[in-house]
Every structure is written in structure tokens, then in C-alpha cells.
Amino acid sequence: MIYNLLEKDHPIVHMRMEEDNQPEDRVEFAKDMAETMKHWGGFGLSANQIGFPYRMFVMGNDENYMVCYNPKITVESDIKIPIEEGCLTYPGLFVRIYRPDRITVEFDDENGEHHTDDLGGLMCRVFQHEMDHMDGIDFTSRAKKMHLDIAKRKLKRGKLKLKRAHGKDMLARAS
């Protein structure tokens, strides 16, 4: 089942999710989450982004994904690196965010098995981003004001270009 994404101002998107609240069928819900993430073109998706108050997210790609129930970051590197991050809750907005480049994490998978992993690279980045969702933290609040302003201007320019291009197509078809 593919779920719709909530708007950025929906209250559940900004709430901290509690550990004891889980779906009845963790395996089936995880499959639906992965299908929804793939459908919307994301690298990660948190349950609260689609309206469910569970402390759970999925992350990965079309072939492989990881299911994380009750995730925790137990160790963070002191080294923070900037990367342009996007979010399904903010389509088209990409903001430079500084985050630790390595983390150690704990989580339970869809079968209830406990895992501890050391993550770096994209997996590290996505895990931290989705953890923010679990805590009701909006990724734009992690950005420096200057970086957020630049990203918003780029998004606005892109929408204007798209609108102009679409308008020209409509004019060409009408002639």
C-alpha cells in the first residue's frame, strides 16, 4: 500500500514519536513504508511523515532497504560535514546541513531482532535525518539561515523556470 505524504505544517510531523507505540503487524507496515518511500523517490521515510505515530522509519533504495523500529544514535563523530539534504516533506528544497560523518546506532528490525551498526556516508546521513523526524525536528531548523535562504531562492527560481517553460509549451500548442 502506498501512503500519501503529509504537508510540512501537519502537527504529527513536528511531534516526538514514543517507543511504545508500534503497529500491530510490523512486517506488513515495514513493506508498505518501503513501497511508499520508493514511490515518492526518497532515501528514507519516517512513519510520522505519512500520519502514523510510530517511532519507526525505513531507509535505502529500490533494491535494498533497512527497517528501523525504536532507533537510537549511541555515538556521534566529532567531525561534522556539510551535505545538501532534501526531504520528502519539502519537495524540491535542498539545504546544506552539517552532521556528524560517522555514527553508531541501535534499532530493532521488522522481526524484532536488535541491531547495532556503525554508519558512514549516505546511510549515516539518512539515519540522522530520519531520527530528526522521530524527534519532531524539521531539517530546515538545522540549517544556517544563509544556507536556508539560498535554498529557498533556488527552489523559487526553479518553480518560475518550470512555470515559464510550461506556459511556453501551452502557447506553442495553441498556435
Note if 18 is an active site residue: no
Cα 104 from chain centroid? 19
Burial of 133 (0-12, 13-18, 19+ CB in 10 A): buried
Q: Which three cell numbers stand for residue 11?
A: 502537527
Give the active site residue among 28, 63, 85, 130: 130
Report d(CA 1, CA 51) in Å as an integer. 14
> Do the beta carbons of residue 52 and residue 5 sit within 8 Å?
no
CA distance 144 to 147: 5
96 within 8 A of 80, measured Cβ to Cβ: no
- So which residues are the catalytic ones? 130
